[in-house]
Chain A
């Protein structure tokens, strides 16, 4: 009888088969993610070790430089291109998302949303082809103009690239590529801004824009940072488009429009892999490990920024 069983057994919740199956699959899915991540990390670390331990002079790819000297321009180029792309895409994405969620008539909003989603469906090699063959020549005269009129700013110092295949073009192509995901996430977050708070702002005599600044944007802050981070992740890792667009020479420069451009880690791997042999392959994998760490750090910083004001996030 149940009355005879000890107190603790009586308090235990009934374990239904459905609950067990569900918690089992949920746990399994979670473990798989961790295992995958661990497997990738272990692969990267073990395969990179030879690059760190071997004598730099014996690895042809390094051309006598140390690994750090080799990877530093690449890290700079990766961060620089992704940052430029984010600076271009973020305001645009927020603007489009606001237009879709709060300004456009419903039908127009649906059409625009669909078109933006379509941008995400284009393969990156198509962006690469378009950027290298069409977009770069269009931009080239504009770069000349920038150099003539704003040449005193180090960003436009020149000498101007004759092909237009510069870091600025690459960043613009990247910006177009990360636009859909940022827009889609921002739109979803903006739509979730509580009607109640929007009405509170309007009832205080806020205009539409003031209402958005008061009730929508602060509420969506965390979501917007997440969107930017996902987009940044894509920009950091984007290979094909950058490889095809950029005429790279692996320098560290802030000049946006010159013919000598920094290159990114993924593009460098794609370009150098076919001719890599022996420990050169390990060097490339080691740059991949650095990219992994950089992406991880960027995400951690973003999380920290979002959590710092968690009490004001609107989630409570």
Chain B
């Protein structure tokens, strides 16, 4: 189910502007990897290259390779649509489809893959996904109501249920808790802990306590200044990054001396 991601010398561009430069890293399967760093350092941009969502923006493109279990996502003839079915994504702000019911939101991705599905199978998948996202007990009596009627934290868990319903290999999370209150944040963090058993998870976060709580490995990104490309400064076990990092900038950042 879960796969290893290997990134080799990746450069990311928005038109002529180089946003991220020279990233090489390996992300282990069944682990949680956190990306931290100041705003604008390119961590979200880099995350979006892992499921080819970066190129959705006009003029944006990528150099280098991203290997998922040895297959290059940016290889010749690779369909970005199929990549995105393998690598799920959860966004910064909860974005369930407002025009769909809770049930249809969960099934949205599955319906893209196979058009016909027996109702009993669909029901089972909805229950399994919502239970996987720790939301089942809260919504099981109102599956046919609109998803936009849920609270922010519930909406975000609905988005996670939607992502895991298609059984992806990898789940990317772009600051999934930044729009949520502490209780909902805790619920999501517990969920990440559970999901790790089955999926490779990569999470971007501004919250360093969160990175230290949920992740196995942490990558610190930084930029030299405005207009310069973001770079991967240090990538190591989370405990090492937060206790005795090799690079001074990392220590300054995690100890709150800048950023």
> Smallest CB-CB separation from A207: which chain B residue?
B81
A258→B149 CA distance, assembly (Å): 54
A215→B104 CA distance, assembly (Å): 13
B95 near A204 with CB under 8 A, answer: no
Task: For B98, give its contact among A202, A206, A316 (CB under 8 Å).
Answer: A316
Q: B253 within 8 Å of A by Cβ?
A: no
A contact residues around B88 at 8 Å (CB): 203-204
Q: With A205-B85, A207-B81, A312-B146 as given contacts, are A214 and B108 in contact (CB-CB < 8 Å)?
A: yes
Task: For A314, give its contact among B89, B91, B148, B162 (CB under 8 Å).
Answer: B148
A contact residues around B112 at 8 Å (CB): 204-206, 210
A181 to chain B minimum Cβ distance, whole angstroms, is 24
Task: For B51, give its contact among A203, A215, A315 (CB under 8 Å).
Answer: A203
A199→B26 CA distance, assembly (Å): 26
A311 near B145 with CB under 8 A, answer: yes
B89 to chain A minimum Cβ distance, whole angstroms, is 4
A contact residues around B224 at 8 Å (CB): none
Q: B159 within 8 Å of A by Cβ?
A: yes
B234 to chain A minimum Cβ distance, whole angstroms, is 28
B contact residues around A234 at 8 Å (CB): none
A126 to chain B minimum Cβ distance, whole angstroms, is 38
Task: For B97, give its contact among A205, A218, A221, A315 (CB under 8 Å).
Answer: A218
B95 near A200 with CB under 8 A, answer: yes
Encode contact with B along A173-201: 1 for CB under 8 Å, 0 otherwise. 00000000000000000000010110111
A204→B91 CA distance, assembly (Å): 12
Q: B128 within 8 Å of A by Cβ?
A: no
Task: For B95, give its contact among A197, A205, A316 (CB under 8 Å).
Answer: A197
Q: With A203-B51, A203-B84, A204-B85 as given contacts, are A312 and B113 in contact (CB-CB < 8 Å)?
A: no
A265→B97 CA distance, assembly (Å): 44
A99 to chain B minimum Cβ distance, whole angstroms, is 16
A162 to chain B minimum Cβ distance, whole angstroms, is 49
B contact residues around A206 at 8 Å (CB): 81, 112
Interface size on B, residues (CB 8 A): 32
Q: With A202-B53, A203-B53 as given contacts, are A218 and B100 in contact (CB-CB < 8 Å)?
A: yes
Q: B1 within 8 Å of A by Cβ?
A: no
Q: B18 within 8 Å of A by Cβ?
A: no
B50 to chain A minimum Cβ distance, whole angstroms, is 11
Q: B120 within 8 Å of A by Cβ?
A: no
Task: For B99, give its contact among A106, A199, A221 (CB under 8 Å).
Answer: A221
B149 near A311 with CB under 8 A, answer: yes
Q: A313 within 8 Å of B by Cβ?
A: yes
B97 near A202 with CB under 8 A, answer: no
B70-121 contacts to A, CB under 8 A, are 81-85, 88-89, 91, 93, 95-101, 108-109, 112-113
A contact residues around B101 at 8 Å (CB): 312
Q: With A204-B109, A205-B85 as given contacts, are A312 and B91 in contact (CB-CB < 8 Å)?
A: no
A205 near B82 with CB under 8 A, answer: yes
B112 to chain A minimum Cβ distance, whole angstroms, is 6
> Smallest CB-CB separation from A205: which chain B residue?
B85
B contact residues around A197 at 8 Å (CB): 95, 97-98
A contact residues around B99 at 8 Å (CB): 218-219, 221, 312-314
A contact residues around B53 at 8 Å (CB): 199, 202-203
A contact residues around B148 at 8 Å (CB): 314, 316
Q: B160 within 8 Å of A by Cβ?
A: no
> Smallest CB-CB separation from A206: which chain B residue?
B112
B contact residues around A210 at 8 Å (CB): 112
A204 near B93 with CB under 8 A, answer: no
> Smallest CB-CB separation from B159: which chain A residue?
A200
- 5 extra A-B contacts, CB within 8 A, seeds A219-B98, A312-B146: A196-B93, A205-B113, A312-B100, A315-B98, A316-B149
Ordered by A's residue number, 30 sampled pairs between the chains whose C-beta atoms are within 8 Å are A194-B95, A197-B98, A200-B95, A200-B97, A201-B97, A202-B56, A202-B84, A203-B51, A203-B53, A203-B88, A204-B85, A204-B88, A204-B108, A204-B109, A204-B112, A204-B163, A205-B81, A205-B83, A205-B109, A206-B81, A207-B81, A214-B108, A218-B100, A219-B99, A311-B145, A311-B149, A312-B101, A312-B146, A314-B99, A316-B146
Which A-B residue pairs are the 4 nearest by beta carbons? A205-B85, A218-B99, A314-B98, A204-B109
